[in-house]
Amino acid sequence: MKQTPRKKAEIVLPMIVILIFLLIWYSITYFKLVPAYQMPGIADVAKSFKEEVMAGRLANDVIASMWRVTVGFVISAILGIPAGLWLGQHTRLRYALTPMFNFFRFLSPLAWIPFAILWFHIGDKPAVFLIFMATFFPLAMSTMTAVASIPSIYFRVAKDYNYKGTELLTKVTFPAVLPQIITAMRVSYGIAWVVIVAAEMVGCQDGLGYGIWDARNGLRLDTAVTYMVIIGVLGMLMDRLLSQLTKLRNVRWGYER
Amino acid sequence: MNDSKQTTLEAEKVSHNYGDIHVLENLNFKVNPGELVTIVGPSGCGKTTLLNILSGHLRPVGGKVISNGIIRTVYQQDGLFPWLTVGENISMGLRSMSEQERQKELDELIKLIHLEGFKDHYPHELSGGMRQRAEIARALAGESDILLMDEPFSALDYQTRLRMRRELVRLLALRQRTVIFVTHDIEEAAQLADRVFVLSKRPATISREFIIRSPKPRNLTDNAVIAAMKAILSQLGLQPWDGNTSHIFDENSKTN
């Protein structure tokens, strides 16, 4: 009984905010508070949206961007999470590598654009490379920190019950940090989605970022807004999807403190 | 399985220090198979250090521990793995068994600790008392011989604590183990112990050791329990000794 009104509020309240936002947007263009060439109206955007869908460009761009992000992100996770697990267990290595990792973590991935193009030319590869550079360091760092801060009691218990080597890693260390790894994945996926738009503005012939760039070149702000809406909505949906991982029963404990 | 006669746990001239801080000073004792020894002492006197040495997690600076048998520790709290269900936690010590045997033993243990229906619950879904019962079941599972209990009930509320003492006595009657039970709770020591070691302030030595012969379970208000509490309190300097050496427990005072 308690759940239902809350669920309702969770849907209704954001709807109201969106409606108000649309109303403000509509008023600005309707009363011409800003010249039309600086701010497209809702109707223009809707029309452009229809055009892009009909021409098949939108679907193509969505698939291209999702593919690049997914490939880059999966490579990051496959390398970054084990690297973090390993580093977290070796104090000296951790000391040795933390400053270097931090350096790269704070280096905007966009700074790698010249190298990405020089090394990987055009197409998917430079974008995938940029996604990798954007997400590898935060993932590895978070995993490493999480491992380093596992309460020592778990390892004592593990020793009492004879967990060693691979079994210790897969049955104790990994599940102990899994909630934090999931959080780190959500955060770095967010970064990846932001980076892809910028990455595709150079060296790509398709993708959502390219779509915005192309719209700008043609002075089609309505198309640009269409792409912005798609980028935002897709990002939200992907985060929703990743957040489903936090509902797994064997990680719930990590979020209920 | 746990052939109690084989079990040994012995401390020989055990001393320990952290840098300049001398924690343990020349501890000598032998725990008999199937015996429950409680260790009481002023806070910060090194009780937990002693347990860590006995369990092998810490090497003493001087002396040695002689032990034979599988040792498991029951912690004050949060010793269960939160990512495993109650059943999976208890099964940790049963991995060497066949699937069938494991299920049988698990079901028996769950019944033993009265957690039927909670096998698939996670620790954070249980109360503190239920968690400690599950932890004791885990330590009892399979072939453990020696239990080291590090203030296992001190995070529980008073009434739960009273109930848990009774539970422990019942469980140990069914599944005999050699137990070292560290506590700051004098009542608990008097109710549970076959033998009590009272530790001195740092550097800790056994300042007094006595046997409580009264059968278990003991009520909190039993004469034997009250007499034992008096002896412990006076030894800790918390209450003057009234000189009444009632013959409820044997004493063999020791100053090493």
Predicted confidence at residue A212, as pLDDT, reads 93
**B149 in the same domain as B126:** no
**B138 in the same domain as B104:** yes
Q: How far apart are the first and last CA of chain A?
A: 25
**A130 in the same domain as A10:** no
**B181 in the same domain as B95:** no
Where does a domain end: B142, B163, B178? B142
Predicted confidence at residue B245, as pLDDT, reads 60
Predicted confidence at residue B216, as pLDDT, reads 86
Predicted confidence at residue A10, as pLDDT, reads 87
- In angstroms, the Cα distances linking A209 to A58, A195, A203, A226 are 11, 9, 11, 12
Interface contact flag, A175 B72, Cβ < 8 Å: no
**A63 in the same domain as A172:** yes
Instruction: State which residues of chain B have pLDDT below 70.
Output: 1-5, 243-256
Q: Once rounded to an integer, what is the mean pLDDT over residues A78-104?
A: 93
Instruction: Determine the 3-state secondary structure of A176 from DSSP.
Output: helix
Beta bridge partners of B21: B18
Beta carbons of A222 and A48 less than 8 angstroms apart = yes
Beta bridge partners of B167: none
The total number of structural domains in chain A stands at 2
Predicted confidence at residue A232, as pLDDT, reads 94
Hey, is the C-beta of B44 within 8 angstroms of any chain A C-beta?
Answer: no
Q: Once rounded to an integer, what is the mean pLDDT over residues A236-254?
A: 92
**A118 in the same domain as A9:** no
**A47 in the same domain as A20:** no
Predicted confidence at residue B243, as pLDDT, reads 66
- In angstroms, the Cα distances linking B229 to A180, B211, B250 are 47, 12, 14
**Residue of chain B whose Cα is closest to the Cα of A152:** B79
Candidates A154, A156, A157, A248, partner chain B, best to mutate (most B CBs within 10 A): A157
Beta bridge partners of B147: B72, B179
**B197 in the same domain as B103:** no
**B126 in the same domain as B98:** yes
Interface contact flag, B124 A253, Cβ < 8 Å: yes
Predicted confidence at residue A1, as pLDDT, reads 47
Predicted confidence at residue A97, as pLDDT, reads 92
Residues on chain B touching A181 (C-beta within 8 angstroms): none
Q: Once rounded to an integer, what is the mean pLDDT over residues A193-213?
A: 90
Predicted confidence at residue B254, as pLDDT, reads 39
Packing angle between helix A124-148 and helix A113-120, nearest 10 degrees? 120
Interface contact flag, A254 B75, Cβ < 8 Å: no
Give the torsion through C-alpha atoms of B100, A162, B62, B16, to 10 deg.
Answer: -100
Q: How confident is the model at residue A36 (pLDDT cuts 50, 70, 90)?
A: confident
Predicted confidence at residue B3, as pLDDT, reads 47
The total number of structural domains in chain B stands at 2
Q: Domain for residue B120, yes or no?
A: yes
**A157 in the same domain as A215:** yes
Sequence-distant (≥ 6) Cβ neighbours of residue B78 within 8 angstroms: A151, A153
Predicted confidence at residue B188, as pLDDT, reads 94
**B152 in the same domain as B163:** yes
Predicted confidence at residue B5, as pLDDT, reads 52
Q: Is the pLDDT of residue A202 over 50?
A: yes
Interface contact flag, B84 A156, Cβ < 8 Å: no
Residues on chain B touching A247 (C-beta within 8 angstroms): none
State the smallest CA–CA distance between residue B252 and chain A in angstroms: 34
What's A87's domain CATH number?
1.10.3720.10
**Prediction pTM value:** 0.85
Hey, is the C-beta of B71 within 8 angstroms of any chain A C-beta?
Answer: yes
Candidates A150, A152, A160, A173, partner chain B, best to mutate (most B CBs within 10 A): A160
Instruction: Determine the 3-state secondary structure of B85 from DSSP.
Output: coil
Query: B248: exposed, middle or buried (C-beta count within 10 Å: 0-12, 13-18, 19+)?
Result: middle
Query: B240: exposed, middle or buried (C-beta count within 10 Å: 0-12, 13-18, 19+)?
Result: exposed
> How far is A67 from B212, CA to CA, in rounded Å?
73
Strands B195-199 and B178-182, by their bridges, are: unpaired
Neighbours of A87 (CB within 10 A): 23
Residues on chain A touching B84 (C-beta within 8 angstroms): 175, 250
Sequence-distant (≥ 6) Cβ neighbours of residue A1 within 8 angstroms: none
**A56 in the same domain as A14:** no
**B13 in the same domain as B62:** yes
Q: Once rounded to an integer, what is the mean pLDDT over residues A178-186?
A: 95
**B57 in the same domain as B115:** no
Interface contact flag, A161 B57, Cβ < 8 Å: no
**A239 in the same domain as A160:** yes
What's the mean pLDDT when you consider all of chain B? Answer: 87
Predicted confidence at residue B246, as pLDDT, reads 59
> How far is B204 from A179, CA to CA, in rounded Å?
41
Q: How confident is the model at residue A231 (pLDDT cuts 50, 70, 90)?
A: very high
pLDDT in tens, B225-247: 888 888 888 888 888 877 666 54
Predicted confidence at residue B248, as pLDDT, reads 46
Predicted confidence at residue B80, as pLDDT, reads 95
Beta carbons of B212 and B230 less than 8 angstroms apart = no
Q: Domain for residue B2, yes or no?
A: yes
**B223 in the same domain as B184:** yes
Instruction: Determine the 3-state secondary structure of A163 from DSSP.
Output: coil
Question: Which structural domain range is residue A229 located in?
Answer: 41-255
Predicted confidence at residue B1, as pLDDT, reads 44
Predicted confidence at residue B118, as pLDDT, reads 94
